[in-house]
Every structure is written in structure tokens, then in C-alpha cells.
Structure 1
Amino acid sequence: MHHILCGLAANPALPSELVDRLISLADDDLADDLACRPDLSRAQVLALAERVEESAVRLAYEGRLTAADVDPAVRPDAALALLDRGVGVSHPEWARLLAADPAHERREKLAACPGLPFDVVDTLAADPDVRVVAELALWTADPDVTARLAAHPHAEVRRAVAANEATPPAALAALLTGEGPPTARQCLVCDREDIPFVHDPQCSRPDCDLLSGASCDGSHESTVHRTQEAALRNPATPVEAVVGFVDHPSMPLRWALATREDLPRQACARLASDPTPGIRADLAENPALDEALIRAMADDRDPAVRRALAHHPRAPLDVLTRLAGTAKVAATLLPRIAAASPAEIEDLALSPDPAARMLVAHRRDLPPGIRDRLADDPDARVVKALAPHPGLTEAQLRAMVERHGVRVLAKVATNPDATPALLEDLTRHDPVVQKAFREIARHHAAPASALLACLTDAQARPTAAAHPALPPPAIVDLLTDTNWQVAEAAAANPSLPMAVMSDLAWHRV
């Protein structure tokens, strides 16, 4: 029954008096659904926050609870949510109170909040729990604080500093190369284990939260490695400090370089021949690549690399056309195609290569003449890409199905201008296309007859159960469905009869 109430709590047609009833029953799950309702009155917001503390946190984040509604001594988590939204400047006393909270989790949360008073920052930087200090090191926007914490005796704090873009470049370079502050004295591994120690990846201790492979022989090597990786990924780290890692024996460190947009060409060229396909794939989308490297990588032996390269914003159109035929990249609108000029769109649409026409068919702003020409394309892949384009007539959509059948039917069902009659006919197509049912079930124009047909598909059934065009008797029947997701969706359906809503809220708890 609980999932029914959760669905009811999300029902946009639920009257205010029944919202009040559900608030009076709310637990964490029910409160979460109620907190999402945009129609909650001021009184309902306060009542829900009073009943369930977690909902107060959510309501605070959404701006529906204000500082005037929250006593940080009574609702510290809601107060933290407001501080996280930036009210710390106007309520410094809240931060001072929470900096002394006995729960380290709250102090950690506080350390990530913006606009903290200087004295609170100093308190958190000296916190006895390294997790609190590391959180401050990760999120503070004050470069003076990160510079100071870069020399912290605990390696975990330094790792967090290395990931913070507010850290001064010189400090990041020193963390990366190790040519700076004295060696850290502690890490999370040697805090807990006798060294030398290597954490077993198959560790079965239920209270152990060390990362797989974490190790320390006195040099805190796994944390130092993670610090270097964070610094390499940090765009504030000077490029001259990172390029020396392009041939590093550590694959994760080389991988961290692949997405940096400030890499010189020589570094990109080295990574383009890296033996790890994932590194080459990440590099393939890097804006730092020039056209020559893009063309060279188009012949990469790994299809994932070629697919990634197709998403490069400056990939030449002829390269994209070639990739479309070899790497299955044309299932979506690619950035370079989205930025194509009218002349380029025309050239692609007129290309004798169906791969080129398929690429441009994913645009949803094609001129009517080009759109209609592609609608009559003899290649099913082109028509499938075009089928969701707005502006197509019912006759054009029917013709697509007539010519290409099951290859385009599901995409035709997604067209925003598909008529109720067409959608109903698509559910009767022989052979059946199950994926079409899932698209029709979410279509705004789906008629009752089509939705009833969609209920026969297990994956489409929950979506159809929530559709407001489903007949009310069918919605009521679905409340007892053996699949709780279907039942919950039916309870959330705004076409559920009001009397049934009331009965659910008052008599079936």
C-alpha cells in the first residue's frame, strides 16, 4: 500500500485536503514525494518540514523554507542546507554553532558551504577529523586557505587540495611533482593499519572503507598517486608541469591528461598513440586536437575511439561521414552537424552517401524543403533519423512506415505531430514492434485505445498507467497490479477519480 500513497502524493490533481492527510502520515519516502509538489501552501511546507526532518532539508534546498523558518539548534541539517545555498554571509552564527557539532558528518557538510566566516574556516582547518579538513580543502574558494592546506601533514588533505581549482598554480605544481612542502606524515591507510599494508581488493571487513588497492609503505604511495591524478585533471595546474606525465608508466595518470584542453600538440600526438583505448577515446573529444590529428585518429582500430572522435566539435564533415559508416555514430545529433552552416546542410542532404544524409537528418530545424526531401529518402537509416522531426504530416509519417516498416516505426511513434489515429494504427502493426509501445505510452497525443494496447507490453505498462488519457476504470484496475511500479504510476495519474483518491488516502492506509 505504501507505493500507492507515494504515487498519490505525486498526483498533480490531488486536492489540498488530501495533501494535508498525506502530510499527517508521511514517512521519509512519502515526504520526499510530497516535497516535490509545486502546489504546497506555506502552511503545508511548514507542516511537512515539522513532520520529517529530511523533507525540511529538501524544502530548504528548493528555497521553500527560509532562514526565518529554521532554528539551527533544532534542525541542524536544514540549517546546513540553507548554508549550502549561500545564506552563511547573513547568518555567521549558524556556521559557528555547526562548526562545534559533535557529528563529524555535519562538520564535513559545513566545510563544503560557501561564504563561511574566516574564524569558522580556521576552526574547520584545524578540525581533529581529517575528513572535515579534506572537505574544506576540496571546496573552499579561498586560494590562501588551499595554499596553506597544501602543506598539511595529512596526505588526504593534500589530495583534496589538488582537486580544488582555487588552489594556486604553484601549489598544484608542487603537489604534482613533489618538489615543495615536506613529505606528508600520515594517510588514511597508515592511520588505520600497520605498514607496509596493501588493501585487499576482495576485503570482506564490513566496517572497512579503504579504497581497493590502497597502500602505504611509509611513503603513502596510493594517496600520493591519487593526488597526482587530481592535479593532472585540475585545469588550474600549469600545463608545463603536466606534460612530463604524457609517457608516465601509470595508466591512470596518462588518462588524467587526455581531457585537458590546454595540451600542446606534441602531447596530444603522444596520447593519440597510447596503448589504452580509453585514453585515446577521451582524447578524441578534446578540443585541443587539430585537424591533422583528428584525421589520423579516424583510422583508430578501436570503434569506441572512432565514436568519440565523431563528437569532436571540429571534426571535418568528410571525416564524420566516413565515421558514420564504420563506428555507428549517427544515432544522435553530433556537435559538428548541429553547428553546420545552411550551405553545409544542403550539401549533406544532397550527398550521394546515405551516411552523410543520415547525419544531417538528425537536425530538428531543417528547412521544409530539405526535411521533405529526406522524408522520401530511399535509405531506411536516413528516414529513421528524420522521423521525429516536427512538421511532418500524417501522410508523410504513414508513408515512412509503409516503405520501411519496422525499421522506422518506433521513431515515427516519437514524432510530436503524430496524430491519435496514427498512434493507434502503429500499435496494430504486423509484425509488432514492442519498442513502439514504449514511445506511444509517453506520447501526449496517445488515445485511450492505443494506451490500452500499450498495457500489454511489460516495459510500456508503467508509463501507460500514468498517462492521463487512459480511461479511469483502467487506471483503477491498475492500482492492484502485481508490479508496484505500475500501481504507483496509476495512483499518480491525474485522471484517477477523485473518490478513489479520497478512499486511498483515508481508508486504505
Structure 2
Amino acid sequence: MNPVLCGLAANPSLPSEAVDRLIAVAVADADLADLLARRADLSRDQAVALLSRAGDSGVQLAYEGRLTAADIDPAMHPSAALALLDERAGHPEWAHLFASDTDGGRRERLAACQGLPLDVVERLAADPDIRVVAELAWWAAPEVAARLAEHPHAEVRRAVAANEATPAGTLAALITGEGLPPALHCLVCDREETPFAHDPQCPRPDCDLLPGASCDGSHESVTHDMVRAALENPATPTEAAARFADHPSPLLRRALAARPDLPPTVCRRLAADPLPGVRADLAANPATGDDLIRVLAHDRDPEVRRSLAHNPRVPLDVLTDLVGTTKTGDTLLPRIASASAPETEELARSPHPAVRMLVARRRDLPAGTRDVLAADPDAKVVKSIAPHRGLRAAQLRSMADRHGVRVLAKVAANPDAPPELLEQLALHEPPVQKALREIARHPRATAPALLACLESVRARPDAARHPALPSPVIVDLLAADDPQVVEAAAANPSLPPHVMRELVSRGHVAP
């Protein structure tokens, strides 16, 4: 990969004739072709030229809407043609062409396409390659999925179980076994004498069986995966899923615990599960009632309590108690995000900094609440509120003065931070690396601030890409030792056009 050329290919200011030159050499560089295919200003003629030079770019071009069916010969560019079929923009006859393709991988990709002609679907359903039939089963319409649930191969049934279009009755039958003939094959017994358990450290380089795959004649590993897929499928009837609350497999109990349609009786059984992971999945589940939430809030396992804090239905009094003993991460908790105006005000006035910090992560606070939190004496609260829009320059400076390096990065991330403040933060001694990265990405950053950011190894690529960087500096960075910095400088829209043309026409691109 040539970092200069890749940077130029992503540069939105690259002159059109320079784009043409890069297309001419893209055949030798897949990364370059991919970047060119993503250009927003790529014309149809350029897209067709890129396809002819670098056929692998056709998939991206098709999904980006740069090509039409008239631009593609499916025999020359089958992947691009399949991408258009996937977008329902290809010629219908292409589906018939690929359904009889000798390449099983292409038939498999075809099977994932929606809106296929019925005769093509029937042909794929009878394909000799189980991977093709299984892929069809993943995406099939209800009536086809119901029929494929009776397929003799367990791998196809597993795919049917994951398909949300599969009828509820069929999903119930798959996990109970009632009303369906037994499966006769699986990927394990297709290849090995049973009983067989695949060694997770299998030394065979050509073996593609999953670690732990096994079959004793009952196809147990894929059957287990089929049941798990059905339990994770929201279309599976609740009553059929509920019978797995006491199943010996922890993976199946965890899949059940995450279902949003659990009845209270099943929730109570899962709340007493010996495995913390099951209880944690239940704790995060909005289906869990208040009584069990209060029980789980005292669970000895921190992961259970952490999951409970992320439950959108957790009562605020439980949540505020949790944050005193449980790490909840840096994200805005769902219950805090949905808090009413009175609840928000109450949280902002909490005597506990950890609670005030939670509400300070919201970015839609009323001005009065925002300003109160901006003046908070606790650095953790100020750090959380610092990126909030609407804060005045004086407030941001006050935060930095009061709390120093603990809040500088978040102050620098504020979208309303004025250029002069960003300069001051960039020149802070000692340098704050996280703040420099935020400044290097900030749209209001000035040249002096960016020059300071160039001294930081981590901030340097972002600073090199910033359009406010002086053009002579950008040109100098093209000779940097770090390829990331070179690519970023070449992608900088403030790079002079004549320099771009020179880079494309001499030195970096052979004529």
C-alpha cells in the first residue's frame, strides 16, 4: 500500500483528472481501488473505468450506487453483479445464470439475495452444496423456511431457526422436535466416523469444522446451536422457549434470559440460576419485574449489578444505590437518558458525585441544570458535563482552571470550545495527550494549536489531516517517517492542487 496514493484517493479536493490517473493504476493496489470506489464525487464514467481496471472494486461500487446493471457483464465481474442482485438492481436473468454457476461460493452469495425468482429459489433449495441451502434458509420467505425445516441436514435446520421470517409454529417444532422428521446428517458426520468430537486444537490445515463440533449420531453440536438460534429468534413462541429455563446448557439459559417476552415465572427461575452470566443477562432484560430487579441489585457478582444498571426499566432509587458500589462504564445509561425533567433535576441535585456524574453525561440538559453541573466541585462530574453544547468560553476556562489535567481532554472535546481556548490547551505544560488528540480533530482548531498537536505521536495523524494546517507544513509531512501521518497529509483537503497533481503524475505514480 502506498500511503501517499491512498491519502490522495481519499482526499475530497483531489482534481478530477488526478482521480482518472489514480484509477489507471488502481489495478495494482486493492486498497487504492477501495478508497477510490468510496469517493462521493466519483462519476459514472470513472466508476466504470475503475471497474475495468480493478474488478474487485465492483462490489463496493455496486453497493455505493455507482454502477447500474447496464455497466456490468456478469461473466466478467460476477461479484459486482451479485452485489447488484443483492440490492435488487440486477437483471433477473442473472439469478438464473448464477443458480447454475459451477462456483458454489457464488451460488451461496446468490442464496442470500432477496426477491429471487421462485424457480431460482426452488433450484437453490435443492442445491447439492449444503452451504448454499443453509444460506437460503437464513433469508427465505416464511413458506420456504417452513419447508426447509424438514430438510434432512441439521445445518439447514439451524439456519431456519435463525430466520426471523420462519413461522412461529415451525420454530417451536425445531426446538421441541415435535412434528418434524429427525435430521439425518450434519457437517461432522458428513466427514467423520461417529462418534467424533473435533479437537479445538485441530492440527489439520484444511479442516473447517468449528472447535468442539461433535456428533454421536444425534448431531448434538449443531442441534444445540439450532436451539440457541431459535431461543435468540424473537419469532419463537414464548411457551416453547420457556421450557429451557432449567436446561443443563448455560448458553441456552443465557439465550433465554435475554428474551424480552419472558413471563414472571421464568424470570424468577433464572434469577436463581447458579451461573452469574445467566443472572446478568436477566438483569439487563426489560422484561424483569421490579421485585426481581431489587433482588438482583444485591447480587454478589459485579457483572450482574453492572448489567442491572444498564436495564432501561431499573428504578432510579435502585440505580442510584448501584452506582455507589458498581462500575457502570462511561456510556449514558438508558434509564438516565429517559429520565423525566423532574427526575433529571433531582439527580443533578444528588449529594453523591457518582449520581450527578450519570446525569451530566446527557447532552440535552436544560441550560440551568447544565450550568449547575458545570460549576460542580467534583472533577468527575465536570469531566462528564464538559462536552455539553451551549457552555460558554468562560465556563470552559473555569473548568480547566479548577480541575486541570483531569478535565482538559473533555473540555477540548466541547464542540463550542473557542479557537483561543484550544490553543491554550494545546500549549499546556505538561502536555495532555488525550487533549491533543481531541484538539487535532476539532473543527475549530487553529494552526498554532495544530502545530502543537504535531508534537504528539498519537495526535499527529489527526493534525496532519486537519484543513487548518498551513499548506507548507502539510507538504513537509508527506516526507514523514510514519506512514499514517503521510497518508493523513495526502488526504488533507488543504493540500495545494498543484502538489496533488505532481504527486500523481511523477514520482508516486508511474506514467
Q: Same fold (TM over 0.5)?
A: yes
Aligned partners of 2:405 and 2:432 also within 8 Å: yes
Deviations 1:146-168 (A, max 9, x none): 11111111111111111111112
Deviations 1:363-388 (A, max 9, x none): 21211111111111111111111000
Deviations 1:276-319 (A, max 9, x none): 33322222221111122222222222222222222211111122
Mean Cα displacement is larger for which, 34-43 or 325-334?
325-334
Mean Cα displacement is larger for which, 115-124 or 286-295?
286-295
SS at match of 2:224: helix
2:222 aligned residue: 223
State the alpha-carbon separation in 2 of the partners of residues 275 and 498 from structure 1: 66
Is 1:236 the counterpart of 2:235? The answer is yes
State the alpha-carbon separation in 2 of the partners of residues 232 and 322 from structure 1: 33
1:8 aligned residue: 8
1:475 aligned residue: 474
2:372 aligned residue: 373
2:433 aligned residue: 434
2:108 aligned residue: 108
Letter matched to residue 440 of structure 1: I
Aligned partners of 1:461 and 1:486 also within 8 Å: yes
SS at match of 2:335: helix
Match of 2:60 among 48, 58, 63: 58
Return the offset for 1:330. 5.9
Summarize the alignment of residues 438-449 of structure 1 with structure 2, pairs less than 5 Å apart: 438-449=437-448
State the alpha-carbon separation in 1 of the partners of residues 440 and 127 from structure 2: 54
- Structure 1 stretches of 5 or more lacking a match? none
Aligned partners of 1:35 and 1:59 also within 8 Å: yes
1:415 aligned residue: 414
TM-score normalised per structure 2:
0.96
1:40 aligned residue: 42
Letter matched to residue 169 of structure 1: A
Deviations 1:430-483 (A, max 9, x none): 333211111111111111121122122222111111111122222222222222
1:271 aligned residue: 270
Match of 2:74 among 72, 75, 79: 72
1:459 aligned residue: 458
TM-score normalised per structure 1:
0.96
Return the offset for 1:332. 2.4
SS at match of 1:87: coil
Summarize the alignment of residues 39-438 of structure 1 with structure 2, pairs less than 5 Å apart: 39-87=41-89, 91-140=91-140, 142-329=141-328, 331-438=330-437
- Structure 2 stretches of 5 or more lacking a match? none
Match of 2:32 among 13, 30, 33: 30
SS at match of 1:114: coil
Letter matched to residue 453 of structure 2: C
Aligned partners of 1:330 and 1:359 also within 8 Å: no
Deviations 1:99-133 (A, max 9, x none): 00111111001101111111101100000100000
Letter matched to residue 13 of structure 2: A
Return the offset for 1:6. 0.7
Return the offset for 1:73. 2.9
Letter matched to residue 105 of structure 2: E
State the alpha-carbon separation in 2 of the partners of residues 114 and 472 from structure 1: 49
Mean Cα displacement is larger for which, 70-79 or 43-52?
70-79
Counting aligned pairs with the same residue, the percent is 69
RMSD value, Cα: 1.5
Aligned partners of 1:324 and 1:330 also within 8 Å: no
State the alpha-carbon separation in 2 of the partners of residues 5 and 100 from structure 1: 40
SS at match of 1:490: helix
Deviations 1:168-220 (A, max 9, x none): 22221121122232221111111112222111101121111110000111111
State the alpha-carbon separation in 2 of the partners of residues 279 and 436 from structure 1: 40
Return the offset for 1:273. 2.8
State the alpha-carbon separation in 2 of the partners of residues 446 and 271 from structure 1: 53
Aligned partners of 1:330 and 1:358 also within 8 Å: no
